[in-house]
Structure 1
Amino acid sequence: MSSFDIDTTEINAFKVEDADLYVFSQYFEQDDVFHELREWYDSEEYRFEVPASEINRLESFLGEYFYDLNRVAPDEIEPFCVVKEKYTDHADILRNSVYHTSRGGNTIFVMQDRLSAEQAAEQDATPLDDSDISFRL
């Protein structure tokens, strides 16, 4: 019996506490995957918004295509978040974010993954845990 390792792609799905849904951003090369998920796609925000009641079905479906869904609870979101002063260049940061909002003179970004958060920090964003801002999705 042979064994082999299959590389999976991890998708971080962030639980939105008060809305009872999960949000994530991912580009799917296979048309049939995107077609199956189209009902949850918000084309204005470039993200998927999946009701919590559907997350188990989504996880099972994505697993068939070698995607590993990582559910991120509201109290575990901090390592994925960065802060940038409003009205400064943030196009590259926005491209890899799942969600963003303004707080005072800052914009808070929830990044797709920890690598994107690290890259944003290299582009003059501040990790949320290094700021004095409190945020929960």
Structure 2
Amino acid sequence: MPTFDADTTDINAFEVEDADLYIFSQYFDQEEVFAELHEYYNSEQYRFEIPTGEMDRIESFLDEYFYDLNRVAPDAIEPFCVVKEKYTDHADILRNSAYHTGRGSNTVFVMQDRLSAEQAVERGATPLADADTSFRL
């Protein structure tokens, strides 16, 4: 019996603690995918915000289009987080983040994947684990 192996795209959806919500950043080039998720898109933050109760349905829908939705719990977010001093160049980092916020004299970024976090470090950011900043999403 022949098998069919398709390449999938991983999407990390980050659980927002105490908000009953998951967030992720992903560009969908298929109009029907974006149309289905449009109601959850926050155009000011360039991310999707999915209520926890909708995640199973959204995960099943995305699976049909070869997207693997990985739910990231709040206590597992650290490898995706980087810190950069406020008011420094961070446009390339922001582009690949799902969330960012100020913490003292720093900005914390939750990157959409581990590769983006590694690239942010190459661009001058510090991994959250190595920073003097605490953060929980």
Q: Same fold (TM over 0.5)?
A: yes
| CA root-mean-square deviation | 0.5
Q: For residue 73 of structure 1, report the CA deviation from its aligned partner.
A: 0.1
What is the one-letter code of the residue matched to 2:33? V
TM-score by length of 2: 0.99
How do residues 43-62 of structure 1 correspond to structure 2 at under 5 angstroms?
43-62=43-62
Match of 2:119, SS state, is: helix
Which residue does the alignment assign to 2:106?
106
Distance in 1 separating the partners of 2:121 and 2:75: 21
SS at match of 1:124: coil
1:125 aligns with 2:119: no
C-alpha distance in structure 1 between counterparts of 2:88 and 2:33, whole Å: 36
Sequence identity of aligned pairs in percent? 77
Tell me by how many angstroms 1:4 deviates: 2.9
What's 1:93 paired with? Answer: 93
Pairwise CA distance, 1:3: 1.2
Secondary structure, in 3 states, of the residue corresponding to 2:49?
Answer: strand
- Secondary structure in 1 aligned to 2:6? coil
Alignment of 1:1-137 (within 5 A): 1-137=1-137
Unaligned runs of 5+ in 2: none
Matching residue's letter, 1:3: T
Secondary structure of 2:61 counterpart: helix
Paired with 2:133 and 2:55, the residues of 1 have a C-alpha distance of: 30
Mark the runs of 5 or more structure 1 residues left unpaired by the alignment: none
When normalised by structure 1's length, the TM-score is 0.99
Runs (4+) off by over 3 Å: none
- 1:5, CA displacement in angstroms? 1.5
Partners of 2:107 and 2:132 in 1: CA distance = 13
For 1:50, what is the secondary structure of its paired residue? strand
> In the alignment, residue 12 of structure 1 is paired with which amino acid?
N
